[in-house]
Amino acid sequence: MNIKFGVIKIRNFALPAVIFVLSMAFAFPVLKAEKADANAVKTVYFTFDDGPSERTEEIIEILSKENIKATFFVIGPSDIKTDERLFKIHSEGHSIGLHTMSHDYDKIYLSAENFIEDLDKEKEWIYSVTGEECKIFRFPGGSNNYNAPKWLIEEVKEKTKAEGMTWYDWNADGKDSLGELLSAEEIAENVLSSEFIGNEKVIVLLHDSSTRTTTPKALEILISEFREMGYEFGKLE
C-alpha cells in the first residue's frame, strides 16, 4: 500500500505564519476524500517522525498498553541513548522506516544521489542496531515540499522502487512539528479535522521529538476517538 498525498490545514497564526502555511497547503494536490463502505475494515496507521527521542518511551508505553503497533520514521543518532531507543522500537514489534540519516534538507535535496547516499547510511545504522533491513521511508517534509524539486523526488522514487522500497506520506496531520507547542487537544483536533477521516485507511502524522511533550497525550486521545469510530490499528510495511 502506498498513499501518496498529504493534508495541511490552516490555523490562525500571525501573518508570516499564515503565508507560510498557505504556501505549503498549495504544495499538496487537492484530493477527494472518499468515505469507506459501511462494511469495510477501517484502519488507522499512527506514524511518528524524527525520533528516537525522550518521547519514544512514553509513546511505546501507551501503544503497548493499548496493544497497538505503529510506525516510526527515524533519523540518525543524536546521543548515546538513541541506539537503545531504536532497539526498543524494534523489540516491541513496531515498524521502523527511514527518514534520512541527517535530516538535513540542504544536503539531501541537493541531488537524488545525495538523498539515496544519506538513506543508505541510515539503513546500515538501523541494521547494525536491530538486524532489520528497512524497506519503507518517508521524505523529510513529505514527497511534495518546496525544499526539493519535483524531478529530484521522482528520481528518488524511481531508484528506491527498483530496490524494492516503498515511500509513505500521510493524510491526517497533527501539526505538532510547527514552532509553537500545541496542546494535546489541539493536536488531536488537527488530526480529526482531516477530510480523510472516515476513509478506509488513515495515515496519521505525529512527531517523536524531545520537545513535543504533548504528543503522547494527544495519542491517547486519538486512540480513544478512532476506536469509537470503529477503526482498527495497523503498522506500515
Report the pLDDT value the prediction gives residue 40, as an integer from 0 to 100: 84
Closest listed residue to residue 75, CA positions, set 210, 202, 183: 210
Three-class DSSP category at 192: helix
Report the pLDDT value the prediction gives residue 37, as an integer from 0 to 100: 63
Write out pLDDT tens, residues 132-146.
Answer: 999 999 999 999 999
pLDDT of 36 strictly over 90: no
Report the pLDDT value the prediction gives residue 209, as an integer from 0 to 100: 93
What sign does the CA torsion over 191, 193, 199, 200 have?
Answer: positive
Is the residue at 52 inside a domain? yes
Q: How many domains does the chain have?
A: 1
Contacts 24+ apart (CB under 8 A), 24-33: 24/145, 24/146, 27/144, 27/145, 27/146, 28/142, 28/144, 29/5, 29/144, 31/5, 33/195, 33/196, 33/198, 33/199
Which contiguous run of DSSP H or E holds residue 234?
strand 232-234
Is the residue at 34 inside a domain? no
The residue type at 176: D
Tell me the whole-structure pTM to 2 decimals. Answer: 0.85
Q: Would you say 25 and 8 are in contact if contact means Cβ atoms under 8 Å apart?
A: yes
Radius of gyration of the chain (CA): 17
Is the residue at 108 inside a domain? yes
Domain that holds residue 161: 40-234
Report the pLDDT value the prediction gives residue 15, as an integer from 0 to 100: 37
Percent of the chain with pLDDT over 90: 80
Confidence label for 179 from pLDDT (cuts 50, 70 and 90):
confident
The answer to which of 10-24, 70-84, 194-208 has the lowest mean pLDDT is: 10-24
Is the residue at 3 inside a domain? no
Mean pLDDT across 207-231: 97
Write out pLDDT tens, residues 97-117.
Answer: 999 999 999 999 999 999 999
pLDDT of 7 strictly over 90: no
232-234 and 201-207 strand pairing? unpaired
pLDDT of 212 strictly over 80: yes
pLDDT of 42 strictly over 80: yes
Write out pLDDT tens, residues 43-96.
Answer: 999 999 999 999 999 999 999 999 999 999 999 987 889 999 999 999 999 999
Question: Residue 62 to residues 86, 173, 177: CA-CA distances in angstroms?
Answer: 17, 19, 20
Report the pLDDT value the prediction gives residue 39, as an integer from 0 to 100: 72
CA–chain centroid gap for 217, Å, is: 17
Write the burial class of residue 196 (CB in 10 Å: 0-12 exposed, 13-18 middle, 19+ buried).
buried
Which residues does residue 97 pair with via DSSP β-bridges, in sequence order? Answer: 73
Is the residue at 9 inside a domain? no
pLDDT of 10 strictly over 50: no
Is the residue at 83 inside a domain? yes
Mean of pLDDT over the chain: 88
Neighbours of 188 (CB within 10 A): 25
Report the pLDDT value the prediction gives residue 219, as an integer from 0 to 100: 98
Q: Would you say 176 and 218 are in contact if contact means Cβ atoms under 8 Å apart?
A: yes
Is the residue at 15 inside a domain? no
Is the residue at 32 inside a domain? no
Percent of the chain with pLDDT over 70: 84
Query: How far is it, in rounded angstroms, from Cα 31 to Cα 157?
Result: 20
Query: How far is it, in rounded angstroms, from Cα 148 to Cα 158?
Result: 15
**What angle is formed at CA 34 by the lines to CA 47 and CA 95, rounded to 5 degrees?**
20
Domain of residue 101, CATH code: 3.20.20.370
DSSP string, 39-58: TSPPEEEEEEES--STTHHH
CA–chain centroid gap for 30, Å, is: 20
Report the pLDDT value the prediction gives residue 127, as an integer from 0 to 100: 97
